[in-house]
Structure 1
Amino acid sequence: MTTIYDIAKRAGVSPTTVSKVLNGYPDVSLKTRGKVQRIMSELGYQPSAAARSLATNRSMTVGVFFQDHVNSGLRHPFLHDVLASFKDVVGGKGYDLLLFSDAERENFPSGFEARAKHRDVDGLLLVGVPRTDPGLVALARSRIPVVSIDLDLIGSRASYLMSDNLGGTRAAMSFLLNNGHRKIAFIGDRLGTKPGHDRMLGYQQSLQELDLPFRSEWMLDGDFTEVSGYEAMKKLLQVSELPTAVFCASDMMAIGAFRALQEVGKKPGQDISVMGFDDIELARYVTPSLTTVRQNKEEMGRLAAFELLELMAREDKPPTVITVDTEIVVRESVCSIS
């Protein structure tokens, strides 16, 4: 197999010069560039990633750590849409994605920093990683460029990005109030994730700001899964005073709440209004179609990619906190009451 060292020897130049030609660097004369390209063509040389990275000292690879709190893997619509737009941007700049496994293996390094260095990635994207992960401390202190989504990781080379969870929740609560609802329950993850915490905080702030009644039995725990929404709604249906509306901190929990209501003969959007957060594809197809808070997932992936590319390109780039706007999507699951 022909290597860049074979090309360099035949052309009478250094391997670094050959790599510069491969990467389009301007500091190679036209004569030398033409000679190297001619020899590569004659030998049918196909450059490897290692050859391309020799001059740049980069692997042209971005590592992705994803921990799935809803146990649906890459099929989850939120992750799929974010990663698709992220991949389009970094791929356009010549980078490949390396998806790290969750499994710990013998004789392999553990922790985000060690695994990133072992695979020689140029930067990292973190999605769905809990704040409690012990490996985050070392990563935040490292010099590895990192962008995290829905995780407030703070470090000298670590930026993070998330939707406006507080603002989106407060907008949802105002929307429910404007439709006549004053008795509003909450189903969500209160402390486990940054988005869950912020959506719970937005709910509590709205109760105070809008002068709405608080009932401890109207605050129920869920972990973003359909099952948890189903179980939470079953508990809610057992309390002495029912709310007229339920705000769920994810669409999957709202869909689970639909099922619990339907099992006891109650109609979502008529007997009890239900609102979600995310605007996954399924939200428009369930019955009734789900009124929700839309996250701009494609924009999140795109902005995360641009931020990571800049962190990788500039050692002096300060970390950034990026907030992406949300919007209310009105469908059929919220009714107006007098």
Structure 2
Amino acid sequence: MATIRDLARQCGVSVATVSRVFNNPEVVTQETRDNVLRVAARIGYLPNESARTLATKKSYMVGLIWDTDHRRPGWRHPFLQEILIGLKTALSARGYHLLMLATSDEEDGHLRAARRHNLDGVVFIDNGTRDPALIRLAESDVPCISLDRPAAGPRTTYVISDNAGGARLAVNHLHEQGRRAIATITGPGRTRPGAERLTGYRDALAALGLPAREEYVVEGDFYLTGGHSAMRRLLALDERPDAVFAAGDEMAIGAIRAITEAGLKVPEDIAVVGFDDIEPAALLQPGLTTVAQDKAGFGVAAATALISMINAPAAVSPAPSVLPTTLVVRGTTAPRP
């Protein structure tokens, strides 16, 4: 089995530098870290995890709490899957492992799990409810970071997209295409993304001087079936919209299905804009115009903030990260005929 000295010699660096790559990767340049990890994989070097844990008093384990079950199928949502992949990649590059934790109905269940597994920190994604177990964890001294939802505590911060700004981009684009009867299919109002995207939609209408018609606001659930049923309600109106901003790509795809089932065309009769830029958005025919979130940036920002809290000598909560959104124009929008 290759030793740390073998690895240092083949990389042309000191043993101390190799040790830092695995124990304190944030103090080593990205180039050095990548080189050491590449050579380690080639020669089969494995760091002594037990020795590292004893030396640093860290487990190099981060817990993941994803509040979902058979009634809330969050696991299958492509946007959340891509965020999780980005997070895992960013943590792995810094020498950390990700441990999935079970949900808990006990108020201190998450905190006890974090203590029992000696976790260095915890990442959580929840469904928008005020879960007492997550609140208790966030208010503890365990470093925590929340994805796509604000959270507060002595060592807690969060990463979120500019949801309102992204919604304004979508509505402004539809207005530029000559659309004036712009409806929206929102996310669940209890979620921060759902509420903020609705606010951005309404702000854009007001800035453009367009009327805010409540019948043009239909709540969805971020999934295909929710978008489909919401669009059918919009199509049943006496004056149907000529454009729809769906606050999630899956809902946008469901809406397009409902539009075509009604014998109408996208974008000629109704233009559609989504939000997320999931992989299927570019594969549709026509391709889905959407507001792209920085999915890789989510993982990097979350990992960076969490590790900075883990390594901080005192209680520190980095400022929340609000990631920018961009408009990706494809075939579901076009100038009004």
Band of TM-score, shorter chain: 0.7 to 0.9
- In 2, the alpha carbon distance for the partners of 1:280 and 1:67 equals 21
Task: Work out whether residues 82 and 297 of structure 1, in 8 Å CA contact, stay in contact via their aligned partners in 2.
Answer: yes
**Segment of structure 1 superposing worse, 48-57 or 216-225:** 48-57
- In 1, the alpha carbon distance for the partners of 2:131 and 2:104 equals 14
Name the amino acid aligned to 1:57.
Answer: K
TM-score (normalizing by structure 2): 0.81
Instruction: Give SS of 2:132's match.
Output: coil
Task: Work out whether residues 64 and 99 of structure 2, in 8 Å CA contact, stay in contact via their aligned partners in 1.
Answer: yes
Name the amino acid aligned to 2:53.
Answer: S
* Paired position in structure 2 for 1:335: 334
- In 2, the alpha carbon distance for the partners of 1:119 and 1:256 equals 42
* Paired position in structure 2 for 1:83: 84
Listed as ranges, the matches of 1:10-49 within 5 Å are 49=49
Q: Does 1:297 align with 2:295?
A: yes
Name the amino acid aligned to 2:144.
Answer: V
- Pairs aligned (count): 297
Listed as ranges, the matches of 1:69-108 within 5 Å are 71-102=72-103
Task: Work out whether residues 107 and 132 of structure 2, in 8 Å CA contact, stay in contact via their aligned partners in 1.
Answer: no
TM-score (normalizing by structure 1): 0.81
1:72 Cα offset (Å): 4.6
- In 2, the alpha carbon distance for the partners of 1:47 and 1:180 equals 61
* Paired position in structure 1 for 2:35: none
**Segment of structure 1 superposing worse, 206-215 or 313-322:** 313-322
1:97 Cα offset (Å): 0.5
After superposition, what is the alpha-carbon deviation per residue over 1:80-124, rounded to whole angstroms, capped at 9, x for unaligned?
3222222222212221110113366xxx99532222222221101
* Paired position in structure 2 for 1:308: 306
**Segment of structure 1 superposing worse, 256-265 or 63-72:** 63-72
| Cα pair distance change 1:61/1:223, threshold 3 Å | same
Instruction: Give SS of 1:261's match.
Output: helix
Listed as ranges, the matches of 1:170-181 within 5 Å are 170-181=168-179
Name the amino acid aligned to 1:317.
Answer: V
Q: Does 1:279 align with 2:277?
A: yes
Task: Work out whether residues 187 and 248 of structure 2, in 8 Å CA contact, stay in contact via their aligned partners in 1.
Answer: no
- In 1, the alpha carbon distance for the partners of 2:252 and 2:155 equals 37
Name the amino acid aligned to 1:151.
Answer: R
* Paired position in structure 2 for 1:8: none
1:131 Cα offset (Å): 4.0
Structure 2 gap ranges (5+): 1-18, 25-45
* Paired position in structure 2 for 1:169: 167
Task: Work out whether residues 60 and 94 of structure 1, in 8 Å CA contact, stay in contact via their aligned partners in 2.
Answer: yes
Task: Work out whether residues 276 and 291 of structure 2, in 8 Å CA contact, stay in contact via their aligned partners in 1.
Answer: yes
- In 1, the alpha carbon distance for the partners of 2:65 and 2:317 equals 22
- Superposed CA RMSD in Å reads 2.6
- In 2, the alpha carbon distance for the partners of 1:78 and 1:180 equals 30
| Bigger radius of gyration | 1
1:288 Cα offset (Å): 1.9
Task: Work out whether residues 294 and 328 of structure 1, in 8 Å CA contact, stay in contact via their aligned partners in 2.
Answer: yes
Structure 1 gap ranges (5+): 1-19, 26-45
After superposition, what is the alpha-carbon deviation per residue over 1:45-97, rounded to whole angstroms, capped at 9, x for unaligned?
x8763443122221110001113499555443222322222222221222111
- In 1, the alpha carbon distance for the partners of 2:104 and 2:110 equals 12
* Paired position in structure 1 for 2:217: 219
**Segment of structure 1 superposing worse, 215-224 or 81-90:** 81-90
Calculate percent identity across the aligned residue pairs: 38
